[in-house]
Structure 1
Amino acid sequence: MNKKKDGFIRLNHYLSNSGISSRRKSDQLIQSGIIEVNGKSVSKLGTMVHVNDVIKFHGHRIKNKKKIYILLNKPKGFITSTQDQYERKTVMNLIPTSFFFNYRIYPVGRLDRSTTGVLLLTNDGYVTEKLTHPKYNLKKIYHVLLNKEVQDQDIDKIKKGKIYLHEGRVQIDFIYRGNTKNRITIGLHIGWNRIIRRIFKKLTYQVIQLDRVNFGGLTKRNLKVGCWCFLSKKEINNIIHEKNKHY
């Protein structure tokens, strides 16, 4: 358990619960010495704090906040970020500003500007780590529309791991055609940047549409593009603790 009966909690858990960062990054913040507990700088990992202690980050007090989980069906044309230096639209423009400012929620994982589909926004650092850290082997499923029919030999190359990108050999979970020969469903655990687009570019195809339909067990739940809904803590826990099954 993260919390003890007497109200104490590890400092890195407290920081992640406040929405400051994931637990892994919280350890880095602690070691840097910028976290204060009751007026004193703390840099020792494993430090226990009480839920009523005064915890400060860069001189500002932080508190455990109510956890918010928003499931969004991201539309095309939005940046997966809390803000953009070029003032392009971000996914934060699709939800009420009160959630952003009052609870400091942020998008988990990334979908590029042209990709649609499942996205989670939250202030829960623990859930963020579970859904993004490579060690948890997160599953993702995409529907892909290509500019031309996919040849059997190309599907075979992808399926058998014969595609190499600069990170290494591409290993997927499955791939199969959709209802037309230029539509593909692909499932994988690799989290390399723009990996789907790069796989098909390697085989001289152009991705016309890319839609993420499953993100670590999260699905769109019949949400229309651009719409969102709340998820409960119980729903999130059920999803992130479920084994990643191959479809």
Structure 2
Amino acid sequence: MSKMKLQKFLQQLGYARRKAGELVKSGKVKVNGSVVFEPWFLVKPGDRVEIGGKVYELSTSENKRYLVLHKPAGYLTTRHDPRGRPTIFDLIDDPTLFPVGRLDKDTEGVLILTNDGDLANRLMHPRYQVERIYHALVVGIPSQKDLSKLIEGIEIWKGQFGRAKKTRIIEKFKDKSWVEVVMTEGKKREVRRLLEAVGHPVIRLIRVAYGPVDLTLVPVPGMIAEIPEKMLEELKKL
């Protein structure tokens, strides 16, 4: 990992951007034992960042880790919750890891965890078009016209548009259905908002794959596994 702004590093640890900036400006963050007040302060591999008595060491090429978590429903993808709700960090024993992107509280499935900031940024950046595959149980059965609208693009929030790369119906029931939605970026609650916009609210949402990493590695909610070397090589080529 190359140098990065201290605020960005805190964001990778799971802090919201504003909260990360506030922590630094209020003198609650130390780098290598010294208090730093500038969010733009540059940190590098090997530096030790201390927040509230907890120390996080920026990874070097020798100690990078790549894991996948089957995130259960009901867990927040954040490091701290002021309301005391469970977070994914209650399931992780390595405080240096951070999630690649986020899943909302009620969404389940694949969540990559790493301390490799360069790879995380690459996987999340829309430029690289990394596919995220979701299976959504929705109210009703979307028509082909509905599925086409998801691909064409829909306004999902005050001038913000969302679109899917691919969609298909997996299974139909009397009054609901499973729909596969393939995305290449991760706007907040985008899949839920897209499906709601075409009249099919989501009942349950599971991310079954992020690039080549899928739920076959972690079939049980709460399960964590190391990403195999061959799969990791594929991930780094995306």
Is TM more than 0.5 here? yes
Q: Does 1:135 align with 2:135?
A: no
2:195 matched to 1:200? yes
Please, which of 226, 229, 232 is the counterpart of residue 230 of structure 1?
226
CA drift at 1:84: 1.2
Q: Could you tell me how far 1:11 is from its partner in structure 2?
A: 4.1
| 1:35 to 1:149, Cα distance in 2 relative to 1, 3 A | same
**Alignment CA distance shift 1:72-1:189 (3 Å):** same
Look up the SS of the partner of 2:172 in the other structure. Answer: coil
Is contact 1:77–1:113 with CA below 8 Å preserved after alignment? Answer: yes
Matched to 1:70, the amino acid is L
Within 5 A, what are the aligned runs for 1:17-96?
A: 55=47, 62=57, 64-65=59-60, 66-95=63-92
User: How high is the TM-score relative to the length of structure 1?
Assistant: 0.69
RMSD over aligned CA atoms reads: 3.7
- 2:212 maps to 217
- Distance in 2 (alpha carbons) for counterparts of 1:84 and 1:229: 25
Unaligned runs of 5+ in 2: 22-28
Name the aligned partner's letter for residue 110 of structure 1.
R
Report the counterpart of residue 143 of structure 2 in structure 1: 151
Gaps of 5+ in 1: 3-9, 243-247
Q: How many residues align?
A: 210
In structure 1, distance between residues paired with 2:75 and 2:48: 33
Q: Deviations over 1:129-176 (max 9, x none)?
A: 1122233222211001012222333123223x1522234443321111
Q: In the alignment, which residue of structure 2 is the partner of 1:113?
A: 105
Deviation of the 1:192 alpha carbon = 1.4
Contact 1:107/1:122, CA 8 A, preserved across alignment: yes
**1:147–1:171 distance in 2 versus 1, CA, 3 Å:** closer
In percent, how many aligned pairs have the same letter? 25
Normalising to structure 2: TM-score of the pair?
Answer: 0.71
1:176 and 1:132, CA in 2 relative to 1: closer, same or farther beyond 3 A? same
Partner of 1:179: helix, strand, or coil? strand
Q: Secondary structure at the match of 1:199?
A: helix
Counterpart in 2 of 1:165? 156
Structure 1 residue 235: Cα displacement: 3.8
Tell whether the 8 Å contact from 1:76 to 1:115 is kept in structure 2 after alignment: yes
Other structure's SS at 2:102 match: coil
> Which structure has the greater CA radius of gyration?
1
Deviation at 1:20, TM superposition (A): 6.5
TM superposition shift of 1:185: 0.5
Q: What secondary structure is seen at the aligned counterpart in 1 of 2:171?
A: coil
> What amino acid does structure 2 have at the position aligned with 1:176?
R
* Aligned mates of 2:202, 2:58 — CA distance in 1: 44
Deviates more, 1:120-129 or 1:233-242: 233-242
Q: How far, CA to CA, are the matches of 1:108 and 1:141 in structure 2?
A: 15
Q: SS of 2:83's equivalent? A: coil
